Amino acid sequence: MSGIIKPKALQPGDTVALVAPSEPIDRVQLSRVEAYMTRSGYNVKAGNNVLAKIGDYAAGTVRQRAEDLNNAFADPEVKAVFTLVGGMVASQILESVDFELIKKNPKIFVGYSDATTLQMAILAKIGMLTFHGPNALSLPDFKVSGYTLTNLWRVLTATSAVGTIKPQSVWQEVRQGSAEGILFGGNLSCLSKLLGTAFDPIAKLDNIFGKEEKFILFWEEDYEQFSEIMRMLWQIRNSGFFARVSGMVVGKLTAVAEVDYQDFPPKKQLIREVTEPFNFPILYGVDFGHDVPKATIPVGLRTAMDTKKFTLEILEAAVV
């Protein structure tokens, strides 16, 4: 057991890199993000290829996107790397990511949605902590004093325990109880599509945390039929991972509906059924995912959850 690799805390005046491993962005969008980062007290380096595009689905070629990510981690001036936006093509660059380079230069890596693909692969390959948090493109849209930004910057800069994430909206209890374990997860479809590949994070958890460790599985999804979500959850269950899960935290399910079936059971009922034999506690509607406000969640830290108190308490610092 080697334990999780933590990046260094972000300091005022540090340099932040912006990369686009998935969908493309335009010059106006990039300028807004750069201006926001500057106002927030950070220097900014955008990837050399960050404005490249292939149609409206990819921010350049595989080589261009992987090169920007590798260069961001190789650059000694860069202390944090933000994905600009999500999408569906981050998996294309996994074979071109230099994971040994990242291991030698651990840095804050923030994003959500398709960024989960990279975050889970980084965990699998080198055991480094990453952050399921807002993509950089959306940062200028949040209130400076609002929950999303204050939580983000506190998690990335404080070397004390992250502390308790409290409800900013209505959380619900699917199964009662409390639990402790290592936070693991992100976007559900991105996680499930890595199972059985060379970048399967579940297959590498024993190497990082030991065979006896338990995990709190957190997940969110958007624009997906719930029948597909159930297929993903059953896939994860059939992998054997639920035996290692001590608790589940379900984030916001944005624009999730069911089209293929007209008589389909409620979401919470189906989540309860797929997890029934394991009897771990489940929180539902927690503030992360594609809705706002959203918490920044460090992937790989020891955490406690309580469905009666509606709390998620991260027991360690995310940065050193």
Mean pLDDT of the chain: 97
In this predicted model, what pLDDT tens digit does every residue of 65-109 receive, in sequence order? 999 999 999 999 999 999 999 999 999 999 999 999 999 999 999
pLDDT, tens digit, 9 for 90 and up, residues 240-274: 999 999 999 999 999 998 888 888 889 999 999 99
One-letter amino acid identity for 81? V
- pLDDT for 1: 46
pTM: 0.97
Amino acid at 89: V
With a pLDDT cut of 90, the percent of the chain lying above it is 96
CA distance readout (Å), 141 to 29, 176, 186, 261, 286: 11, 36, 22, 37, 21
Ramachandran category for residue 101: left, alpha or beta (phi over 0 → left; psi -120 to 50 → alpha)? alpha
Positions marked active-site: 113, 220, 290
Q: Name the residue with tokens 């999408």.
A: 87
- The C-alpha torsion from 158 through 108 and 87 to 286, rounded to 10°, is -30
pLDDT digits (tens, 9 = 90+) for 198-249: 999 999 999 999 999 999 999 999 999 999 999 999 999 999 999 999 999 9
Domains, in order of start, for the chain: 15-157 (3.40.50.10740), 163-314 (3.50.30.60)
Q: What is the pLDDT of residues 263-318, one digit of tens each?
A: 888 999 999 999 999 999 999 999 999 999 999 999 999 999 999 999 999 999 99
Instruction: Decide if 30 contacts 135 (C-beta within 8 A).
Output: no
The full DSSP string for 119-140 is: HHHHHHHH-B-EEE---GGGGG
Does residue 23 carry a pLDDT above 80?
yes
Phi, psi of 311 (to 5 degrees): -130, 150
